[in-house]
Structure 1
Amino acid sequence: MHINFNDLFLKMQEQLESHQAALDDSLLIELVNRIRPSDSTNTEEINCKFRALIQALLITPDAVSTLQNFVLKLISQYKQTSLYADTGILSLDGFWNQLAQRVGAHFLPLINDESQLQDLVRRVFYQRSDKYWLDSISNEDWQKLFALLNQGHGNQAEKLKISSELIKAITVLSYRISGIGLYPEFINAQPDLTEYESPFLVQNREIVEFIQHYKKLHQNTDPLAVITPPDASQALVMIEQCRDVALKIRRAIKRTGVSISLTYLLSLLEQCLERIELLINLIVEEDKVRYESLSALLVDITSAIYSEQSVRSLLANNSELIALQVTENASKTGEHYVSTDKKGFWSMYKAAAGAGVIIATMATFKILAARLVMAPLMQAFMFSMNYSLGFMLIHVLHFTVATKQPAMTAAALAATVQHQKGSKTAQIAELAALIINIIRTQFIAILGNISIAIPTAAVITLLWQYGMDEPLLSHAKATTTLQSLNPFTSLAIPHAAIAGVCLFFSGLIAGYFDNMAVYRKVGPRLQAHARLKRLLGQERLNSFSAYIERNLGALAGNFLFGIMLGSMGTIGFILGLPLDIRHIAFASANFIQGLININGTPEVGLIFVSFLGVLLIGLTNLFVSFSLTIIVALRARRVRFEQWKPLAKLVLTHFLTRPSDFFWPPKIPLEVDESLPSQKSAYK
């Protein structure tokens, strides 16, 4: 591919010879425009255009020196330290201040400082896709370009200025790293930092010593003299030790928990460590390493120019650890929701049956609460407390609600995907077996809920009618209740999807509070509570503290899930939107209550359609909550599973050959046939 650059080189030369006070950056912008690919993912086009630039520099007389002079003088017109030390690195403001600033900048954009080098980079690489094609350029091509531009001994003043700016940036980053290492939250996460000399302080001492040595070497020295850069190996060793501390904290989050502020500090620290290492390499390392560091810095800065005001980028960078910890706690809970044998199968049925009794009672209480004439917010409060306290009671009594399972089992499935080892077929077979176990356990849990909720609700309805001499539901209300379950003429399915979203959020909330219980040391703090000691005594307080620490997430998740279910209708009323929830367990209880109180004998068609609605509500609850949870869990673990089709095929084949495994536990532990056609690796 041939691209003409001669006109640009000539114009650059003219500007250099005219000794203009300020060079025209439009020439550099045009040069980048000519090598910018039309498709940032087309590697062939990227390489052809970039190599065309290298070829033009090789064959055009004085092109190399012209471009070198022009770029160096253009860069020297700007302040550079902020670009090296700040761009692509989170601010010390903290997560919430950064979030507020970025949200505000979307409504009232920030003013760019035209004296800063960031402004030049922003004008040259003005397309968001630039980071992709720059990152696609091979190291060999970068090496060739930078080797060409590094020829000769001219422009020493500009080179010294850039080196001086790099030294300033290294100094800023070093002190910033020291400050992060002294944050109380950071020390709490790694108490060993107080027991020996902190690597965060030692690295600063080594960096300062390195900089002093560097400056001393360059004082009163001939600009053309060859100077051996000072040894930075000790500083780099300490930087690596700082990185090890950050890694230890990340590994310890399962045991110690994590917060948004700690996640933010870790992200900031890792960015500073990576940047300071790049900058040191630019000064002291051999040409090959310097060129690699320079290309990495260019890609990093180009990417950061567009992400530094992105709310999505901030949330993605700082929510990962919390999402991982939240879903990790959910996956541990989810393991208890999967039965593999007959004993576990019947245990799940008993737990679900116990919940069915409470659910039928809760459904009745809601009907009675709806009779009361109250303000919308008071009605929402009554409904919410009915749901919340009922769900918490179900948990305390070790019962289970079927629809609470998917949010937990999906996280367990994601954890299994992440830790899979062995051949691809073995991995898929194990996942298929887990999915079948999940489906069977889910089936018996739903059966346990509705098989007891329906007769219990029927008994309560009949006893109410007998004891109070009035129906629990009026004929009109009973008809409306059954019609609201019709999947074809009502919003039952969308409302079931809303309930599925609430189930998903309740799983995340449970994981968040489990994490908080560990991170905030809720158990030990309760044990040390003076008033509770006097009230309960130390022994009972210890038991209470241990229970709260183990169950805080589940209790909080259930309580807030009840709030979501109870207030959704009121929120819809206030907003003028048809918002509500449909939950299979409550729908099954309402189904029988409506049938008993309807005027006359209900039609067979009405019974069939209403019961079909109950089943579809359940499927929607399960599908929405399971799908959302597994997406979040896989993303939190940075796992991309790309074998859904063969996995689905294997599960379907098993269903066609051994359907009973989906509804009844096999006599021996389930094994799925691994015979699958060869596929690519299941993971990326």
Structure 2
Amino acid sequence: MFRYLTTVIKKWRASRSSGHQLDALLAIADAKAPYAERSEWLIELVHWIHRRGALQAEPGESAEHEARPVQAHTRLRYALHVLDRNPAWKTNVAGILRALLRESDGISLLCDAGMPVHSGFFGALTERFQSSLIPPAPNRRELGALFRLMFTSKDDVDWIGKLPVDLLERIRDLFDYGAADDQRPTSAFSLDLLAALHNLTCQISSTGLSQTVRTRLGDADARTATESQPFYRLTRAMLAVETAHQAVEEGAEPGRLLHEVNYLRLLLDQCRVAIDDVFSHLYRNGVSVDIVFQVERMRMRIARAEHLLDTWMAPDDLRAAARLLAELVQANQASQSISHLLRGNFSLLARKVVEYSADTGEHYIARDREEYLKMLRMAAGGGLVTVVTVCVKFAITGAHLYSMLEGLLAGINYASSFLLMHFLHFSLATKQPAMTAPTLARELDSAGTPHGVDEFVTSVIALIRTQAAAVLGNVLVVLPVCLGVQLLWRPVFHADIISPEKAHATLRSFSLLGPTPLYAALTGVLLWSSSLLAGWADNWFVLHRVGDALAYNRRLRLTLGAAGAGRLARFCRSNIAGVAGNISLGLMLGLVPALLAAFFAFGFEVRHVTLSAGSIGVALGVLGKAPLRSAELWWAVAGVCSMAVLNVAVSFALAFHMAVRSRDLRRTHVRSLHHAVWRRVFSRPTALVWPVGRRRDG
């Protein structure tokens, strides 16, 4: 029988007429066939219904002028007409539909569709990856698996949700066609809905009473008084609904059932409010991806329970059943999407990381002359520290070590310099954009008013001016000081920091005509990545309450005293993100080029504007005045200018894009602000290089 079915399906697919395809498919319907063959037959029928093109179109033709839902509805209506003209076919098709519903596990669809099986995020990620590689077999007696094979297109949600009432009535009549009273699927579907509701409420209650959720409820009394929690009362409310339903089945009045259902709805609403409190607690006190995953899954279960309850209470409302079916199809499709899982569970963590960057970035925007001059001083200090970094870097490269060891030592050199700048409150220009971009994105929340637009534009102008000051402060100090160090090095040690050949190679490597712009852009990516790691470290510190653990640690209190332990905790809280970001940035600048070369044979070199400017200063000190008359030097200077632009622009663009996405802002709304920025630039161009006054204005 299976070989026969396969042969007929191949002939049906090869036929030229859509009507002939349907006739061939309906003719082989067999209600007594094995489960797998009936499942495959239904899958082919549904694929024919949502196939593109007009009903009578040839295989190479299409009807793009007709909307997809209308096409599917037309095909479904035609199939029902064909069955009405062929009672034998209709009997077999109705028998197949009833048998599949009777023999398949309906709870797998009603309760589990779209719900991850694993309790942790990474388990769910592995599950989705495996399911994308291995689709379910048609002989699995689960409606959820059958729906995955039948509805594979995103358009299915649209045409199912828009099914007209007359088609829904004809589909219901098809299910009941030729069935005995005890075989009608309506009552069985109602029992499946009730069982799925029971399952969902138990799962919601179990998660809500877990330590993960219970300790993060906003009300302190709710954590101690368990009986006052809606999660505790939810299962008892569901049992009361089932008892009232049983009484109605035995002839009692439905008033009690309506009362119990309304009370169940109230508890579900209270559970949703409690979930919002949990998310607020996570946002204030640190985000865990696994906790977000569990709470988000509980929110999905609450929404599913409400949909099932609506459908169960209105068994004659076919539109409600169609909406439920469309929601199940959509959830089933979303449960296979890895990107959907990542977006849903990392959005809160991304927002938390962005908020840390926004709070930090506010300190890097000079809005008046006093802050502008302070930024220049901080940048000059960063340039002085970078002088030592450049000299140590040349010493490491001059030792000709293995690439991985050289990269590690270079990373330690960079990280040490960045940490020194951090604790001395100096500034490295290119580290700022990834911090300041979220600050601008946060100001977009109030950009819907003229005052909000003016504030946003003012911040943009101040940011551009501050970045220019930081870059100039770094470069104008590091280049001449490196030059002076080399000029002093030669008479003192009777040698150069680098050889003349190395000096020429350094200038050539910075040339704008080479891969310098690409390397500068990739360096901007590393700068942005370090800001993400800084935000993650800050979130980890708060989430695990490391500060409290330090402040109340018995050994620390005995050694430092209670006040000393508190000061240590506050110091760690203030510097954990900065330390993590600086160490990660330094190690990435040193190790990433070595790793790319070793494992991917990709020649990448760090192109950082401040470090490169210092290298040019050393090279000039070695070569003397000769390079001033050659194009080699000026192409290198142009390359350093491109580094300044690309280091800042790439890291800023990535951080700003992430910040906008984390705040669910529309791109069109962001673009509308560009014109306001350009109008301010053309009207007051001097504000880009010098603050207008002491007032905080752009």
Q: Would the aligned equivalents of 2:68 and 2:155 in 1 still touch at CA under 8 Å?
A: no
CA distances 1:220-278 after superposition (whole Å, capped 9, x unpaired): x89xx999965411111111111111111222333211111111111111111111111
Aligned to 2:209: 182
Structure 2 residue 298 is matched with structure 1 residue 283: no
**1:642: Cα distance to partner?**
0.9
Within 1, Cα distance between the matches of 2:352 and 2:412? 29
Structure 2 residue 542 is matched with structure 1 residue 515: no
Which sections of structure 1, spanning at least 5 residues, go unmatched?
673-684
Partner of 2:665, secondary structure, is: coil
Aligned to 2:9: none
Aligned to 1:214: 245
Q: Would the aligned equivalents of 1:514 and 1:552 in 2 still touch at CA under 8 Å?
A: yes
Q: Would the aligned equivalents of 1:253 and 1:325 in 2 still touch at CA under 8 Å?
A: no
Within 1, Cα distance between the matches of 2:568 and 2:649? 36
Aligned to 1:333: 360
Within 1, Cα distance between the matches of 2:63 and 2:650? 34
Aligned to 1:239: 268
**1:657: Cα distance to partner?**
3.2
Partner residue of 1:625 out of 647, 651, 655: 651
Question: Closer, same or farther in 2 for the Cα pair 1:655/1:11, shift >3 Å?
Answer: closer
Partner residue of 2:404 out of 360, 374, 377: 377
Partner residue of 1:661 out of 687, 695, 698: 687
Partner residue of 2:521 out of 497, 501, 506: 497
Amino acid paired to 1:98: A
Partner residue of 1:34 out of 42, 49, 69: 49
Within 1, Cα distance between the matches of 2:194 and 2:493? 86
Aligned to 2:577: 553
**1:368: Cα distance to partner?**
1.5
Amino acid paired to 2:667: F
Q: Would the aligned equivalents of 1:95 and 1:261 in 2 still touch at CA under 8 Å?
A: yes
Q: Would the aligned equivalents of 2:197 and 2:309 in 1 still touch at CA under 8 Å?
A: yes
Q: Would the aligned equivalents of 1:257 and 1:325 in 2 still touch at CA under 8 Å?
A: yes
Amino acid paired to 2:372: F
Within 2, Cα distance between the matches of 1:228 and 1:207? 13
CA distances 1:378-406 after superposition (whole Å, capped 9, x unpaired): 32221111111211121112222111111
**1:100: Cα distance to partner?**
2.9
Q: Would the aligned equivalents of 1:88 and 1:300 in 2 still touch at CA under 8 Å?
A: no
Aligned to 1:675: none
Question: Closer, same or farther in 2 for the Cα pair 1:126/1:573, shift >3 Å?
Answer: closer
Partner of 1:553, secondary structure, is: helix
Q: Would the aligned equivalents of 2:433 and 2:652 in 1 still touch at CA under 8 Å?
A: yes
Aligned to 1:597: 622
Within 2, Cα distance between the matches of 1:187 and 1:41? 55
Aligned to 1:387: 414
Q: Give me the identity figure in percent.
A: 24
Amino acid paired to 1:432: V
Q: Would the aligned equivalents of 1:28 and 1:124 in 2 still touch at CA under 8 Å?
A: yes
Moved more, 390-399 or 21-30: 21-30
Alignment of 1:295-444 (within 5 A): 295-422=322-449, 428-444=453-469
Within 2, Cα distance between the matches of 1:437 and 1:235? 54
**1:360: Cα distance to partner?**
1.6
Moved more, 333-342 or 428-437: 428-437
Question: Closer, same or farther in 2 for the Cα pair 1:295/1:661, shift >3 Å?
Answer: farther
Amino acid paired to 2:541: A
Structure 2 residue 102 is matched with structure 1 residue 76: yes
Structure 2 residue 518 is matched with structure 1 residue 487: no
Partner of 1:452, secondary structure, is: helix
Aligned to 2:281: 252
Q: State the Cα RMSD in Å.
A: 3.5
Within 2, Cα distance between the matches of 1:185 and 1:538? 30
Aligned to 2:8: none
**1:25: Cα distance to partner?**
6.0
Question: Closer, same or farther in 2 for the Cα pair 1:7/1:106, shift >3 Å?
Answer: closer
Within 2, Cα distance between the matches of 1:187 and 1:460? 62
**1:27: Cα distance to partner?**
5.5
Q: Would the aligned equivalents of 2:43 and 2:149 in 1 still touch at CA under 8 Å?
A: no
Within 1, Cα distance between the matches of 2:475 and 2:358? 26
Q: Would the aligned equivalents of 1:507 and 1:557 in 2 still touch at CA under 8 Å?
A: yes
Within 2, Cα distance between the matches of 1:87 and 1:669? 58
Partner of 2:232, secondary structure, is: helix
Within 2, Cα distance between the matches of 1:428 and 1:545? 39
Within 2, Cα distance between the matches of 1:517 and 1:565? 25
Within 2, Cα distance between the matches of 1:635 and 1:41? 37
**1:112: Cα distance to partner?**
6.2
Within 1, Cα distance between the matches of 2:189 and 2:684? 71
Within 1, Cα distance between the matches of 2:33 and 2:383? 84
Aligned to 2:551: 527
CA distances 1:273-299 after superposition (whole Å, capped 9, x unpaired): 1111111112114755x733x334323
Partner residue of 2:589 out of 565, 568, 571: 565
Structure 2 residue 68 is matched with structure 1 residue 46: yes
Within 2, Cα distance between the matches of 1:620 and 1:76? 64
Alignment of 1:440-479 (within 5 A): 440-479=465-504
Partner of 1:252, secondary structure, is: helix
Q: Would the aligned equivalents of 1:353 and 1:452 in 2 still touch at CA under 8 Å?
A: yes
Q: Would the aligned equivalents of 2:368 and 2:697 in 1 still touch at CA under 8 Å?
A: no
Question: Closer, same or farther in 2 for the Cα pair 1:365/1:335, shift >3 Å?
Answer: same
Q: Would the aligned equivalents of 1:8 and 1:31 in 2 still touch at CA under 8 Å?
A: no
Amino acid paired to 2:548: P
Aligned to 1:585: 610
Aligned to 1:133: 158
Partner residue of 1:205 out of 233, 236, 248: 236
Amino acid paired to 1:500: G
Aligned to 1:634: 660
Within 2, Cα distance between the matches of 1:430 and 1:131? 46
Within 1, Cα distance between the matches of 2:323 and 2:613? 60
Q: Would the aligned equivalents of 1:12 and 1:27 in 2 still touch at CA under 8 Å?
A: no
